Amino acid sequence: MAFVGIGLLGLNLATSRVGCPERLVWGEEAWEASGPATAEPEIGTGGEDPVEIGATLIGLTSRRVFAPAGSAPVTGGNDDLPAQLSLECGDGTFQGYRAVLSRGSPPTG
């Protein structure tokens, strides 16, 4: 009976993550949160609507990822990811991120 309870607790923790992480890692690249979460994805210059480029997993939940207008969808492999992203946080908000580590560049820090 204790194993069932522990299993249910673990499943609950894995599926109920709401909010966005401070750091987002996707492949060989990393971004850090920039500014407060907003009601809509805000990226790029004013007046341009961000585009959805793919999704990532946070726990067991898939979260939509947005990039500046004109960005291509991520297809896997060697995609060039933008320096700015916005991640759906699972609570109706979106967190903006700025690149801190790009493919082929040394770590900053």
* pLDDT for position 41: 92
Beta strands 23-26; 29-33: pairing state: antiparallel
Give the count of alpha carbons within 13 A of 48, CB side only. 12
As a whole number of angstroms, the distance between CA 8 and CA 4 comes to 6
Domain layout of the chain by residue ranges? 2-101
pLDDT in tens, 38-89: 999 988 666 788 999 998 888 788 899 999 998 888 876 556 788 999 999 9
With 50 as the cut, is the pLDDT of residue 2 above it? yes
